[in-house]
Structure 1
């Protein structure tokens, strides 16, 4: 009997779920499927540059399991890029945790939130200062 798959933690789920080569009608394309947890693995390892150990911790799986997920995801993406296939993102074993990152500007005390998965913040949206700090918990103005 096969062991049931443990749900992975996904912290970023963009609205984009389909990619296709430009200039080729969709009905002429082969399609490959990338699961939502595989896309999360690529985001953590390749976009954010996390180690397999740290990324596995973020997804709630072991380092070895994360390595297998990201290896499978990279193979799917490489196949689509090299052979001109469309990528459909769907399914998988995951729980989405909608969360935001909270920041406060040390220069003007402006507080704001940004969604996870959007990369490093560019600075304070109010005064453009790069002297910012990430805050845990509620944003409280003093």
Structure 2
């Protein structure tokens, strides 16, 4: 029986998560799903220029697991580019130390790094903030599920 998959640490979430070849209607194109951790692996290796060991450490996986993730990502991108397929970035088995918080006082939604930032609303200074679960980013890393929820 295989071990359960370990969560991969991800620090970047793209604003645009769907890409379609120019001039082709979305409804007529096959799509390749690129997992969030696969995009993160390519970002760390190809954009941040980190070596494999540094990438694996940042994602909190072994070097072999990192290599498997990036190999899968590059193959998917190559197939999409050469065969004219759409790329959808979603899903995967990842976690993050960024949490989306919502201020109960003014309604502002913002991201914090729970390791470094305090759970205080940047707009109004209120400490009445809570983790915004519907953002889907907190997974098991969020330490502030109902942080400073003083009524």
Q: Same fold (TM over 0.5)?
A: yes
Give the TM-score taking structure 1 as reference length.
0.68
In 2, Cα distance between the equivalents of 1:11 and 1:91? 15
Shift of 1:2: 2.0
**Unmatched runs of 5 consecutive residues or more in structure 1:** 100-114, 116-136
Matched residue SS, 1:87: strand
Q: Using CA pairs below 8 Å that are at least 6 residues apart, which structure has the higher relative contact order?
A: 1
> What is residue 35 of structure 2 aligned with on the other side?
35
> What is residue 71 of structure 1 aligned with on the other side?
71
> What is residue 80 of structure 1 aligned with on the other side?
80
* Aligned alpha-carbon RMSD (Å): 1.9
Instruction: Say whether 1:96 aligns with 2:107.
Output: no
> What is residue 61 of structure 1 aligned with on the other side?
61
> What is residue 45 of structure 2 aligned with on the other side?
45
In 2, Cα distance between the equivalents of 1:81 and 1:14? 19
Aligned length: 103
Shift of 1:41: 0.4
Give the TM-score taking structure 2 as reference length.
0.64
Q: Is the 8 Å Cα contact of residues 12 and 98 (structure 1) preserved in structure 2?
A: no
Structure 1 segments, 4+ long, off by >3 Å, are none
Q: What CA deviation, in whole Å up to 9, does each residue of 1:116-136 have, x standing for no partner?
A: xxxxxxxxxxxxxxxxxxxxx
In 2, Cα distance between the equivalents of 1:97 and 1:36? 15
> What is residue 5 of structure 1 aligned with on the other side?
5
**Unmatched runs of 5 consecutive residues or more in structure 2:** 100-111, 118-151
